[in-house]
Structure 1
Amino acid sequence: MKKIMFNDKYGLTKAVLEGRKTQTRRIGYHGTFKRYCNCGFCLEGADKNKLFINDGNEVVAKSKFKLGEEVAIAQRYIDLAEDDEFYRLCGIHGMPLELIKYEKGCDNKMFVKADLMPHRIRITYIRVELLQNICEEDCLAEGIVDFESRINKAHFYSITDESATYETAKKPYSLLIDKIAGKGTWDRNPLVFVYEFELIK
């Protein structure tokens, strides 16, 4: 099983576990096309159900995840200290609990084992689009926080519930993607794989 990482600094893992975040965009291709861009799902072999980005007949990018695939949500072991399912999975997979604190995954989720992760998502839809083509509704599905004013019922949007607010959801999303994928990502407007998913555990 593969794992997927969401940014903890900006509350994205929490947003997934709360069911507020149901989409993620990952850079697909930022080069120029020599011929023309087309996309399609692979129908057979090891890449079956992966989405390809093609330049004419040449594959230039493949989605990391497949349609229908279950993916483990990476979390540091230390953050799972109170999770009974984590302890159960450690027992099933032969991970001695007394050794967890010595594992690299204790403080760094890059090194966690997918089989030990108690929470999973299922990929329900994959598509390709230019990053800046994201709509307001999809910004909310990406975990942008929606605040409603008590005074005039106006809506304001932010990256987390503790950060600056903006009049549109797209503005904080553009700032968020630059923080996660690198400064200037929004302005470069690359093709991205859009993964829609559901929380299954």
Structure 2
Amino acid sequence: MKERPILFNGSMVKAILEGRKTQTRRVVKSTLIIDQAEFECGNRPHVTRSEPNLQHYVDTDCPYGQIGDRLWVREAFMDLSGTGVEHRDSEGKLQKYAYAADCPKGSHGDESRKDFGLKWKPSIHMPRSASRILLEITKIRVERLNSISRIDAAKEGLHQLPATGRYVINKGDQYFGGASSNPIEVFSWLWEDISGSGSWGKNPWVWVVEFKVVSGGAG
């Protein structure tokens, strides 16, 4: 069993903490894997045989690890050591670190941070010791982004409104964009918010990493 870091933005961290997110999709960058995926779905008719197969790459070359491996979450954070500022969790325990996902823009916590002149450190700079969420990989596969099912789209961290059953993207204490009864549509908005305008239409091959929370979340 190995451990690797993985980055999530604040809204996705919150979704993990609340038990709404149990999958993540990341673009496949290896041309070898993309070529094999294209071959196995019939898009390379001039190729009659190709080895190794796609499952071999899934089993050996996923950059996020293999089933049973663990991912420690990197998120925007703050080390309060030496600042003179105290931060306590929901149980009143004194904490060394504060996390931006817990203090959305405009919240009391974020305004208090500004009052003390403190700044969030980007997630890429988080050390292992500051990570509060540990995930375990349960499944891995490669598929086209647009092939996502309605069930899986909801597992990407969408919020379902209890009154209407419609899906939205939750950012802090606010909803981003619109609402839809189709979770795939809402996930496409989320993907473009993270990856840029037009990125959904490109329909890239993606790693689908399913996980469960080992520590730090609702799971």
- Report the TM-score when normalising by structure 2: 0.65
**Counterpart of 1:158?**
168
Q: Which moved more, 1:171-180 or 1:21-30?
A: 21-30
In 2, the alpha carbon distance for the partners of 1:175 and 1:169 equals 10
Q: Identity of counterpart residues, as a percentage?
A: 27
Among 178, 201, 207, the residue aligned to 1:193: 207
Give 1:106 shift: 5.0
Give the match's secondary structure for 1:143: coil
Stretches of structure 2 lacking an aligned partner (at least 5 in a row) = 41-52, 81-86, 98-118
| 1:1-201 matches, cutoff 5 A | 1-8=3-10, 11-29=11-29, 33=35, 36-37=39-40, 38-41=53-56, 50-52=59-61, 62-78=62-78, 81-82=87-88, 87=96, 107-149=121-163, 154-160=164-170, 162-163=175-176, 164-201=178-215
- Report the TM-score when normalising by structure 1: 0.70
Task: State whether residues 5 and 71 of structure 2, in contact with CA within 8 Å, keep that contact through their aligned partners in structure 1.
Answer: yes
In 2, the alpha carbon distance for the partners of 1:127 and 1:157 equals 25
C-alpha distance after superposition, 1:86-137 (max 9, x if no partner)? 649xxxxxxxxxxxxxxxx952111011233122001111011110111111
Task: State whether residues 85 and 118 of structure 1, in contact with CA within 8 Å, keep that contact through their aligned partners in structure 2.
Answer: no
Name the CA shift for 1:27/1:130 in 2 (closer, same or farther; >3 Å). same
Task: State whether residues 88 and 94 of structure 2, in contact with CA within 8 Å, keep that contact through their aligned partners in structure 1.
Answer: no
Give 1:39 shift: 1.2
In 1, the alpha carbon distance for the partners of 2:206 and 2:55 equals 14
In 2, the alpha carbon distance for the partners of 1:77 and 1:39 equals 37
Stretches of structure 1 lacking an aligned partner (at least 5 in a row) = 43-48, 53-61, 89-104
Partner AA of 1:33 in structure 2: D
Name the CA shift for 1:133/1:6 in 2 (closer, same or farther; >3 Å). same
Higher relative contact order (CA 8 A, sep 6+): 2
Task: State whether residues 9 and 76 of structure 2, in contact with CA within 8 Å, keep that contact through their aligned partners in structure 1.
Answer: no
**Counterpart of 1:56?**
none
Task: State whether residues 134 and 213 of structure 2, in contact with CA within 8 Å, keep that contact through their aligned partners in structure 1.
Answer: yes
C-alpha distance after superposition, 1:160-197 (max 9, x if no partner)? 15232112111110011111122222101111100000
In 1, the alpha carbon distance for the partners of 2:198 and 2:190 equals 11
Partner AA of 1:28 in structure 2: V
Partner AA of 2:186 in structure 1: P
Give 1:22 shift: 0.3
Pairs aligned (count): 164
**Counterpart of 1:100?**
none
Give the match's secondary structure for 1:188: coil
RMSD: 2.9
Give the match's secondary structure for 1:196: strand
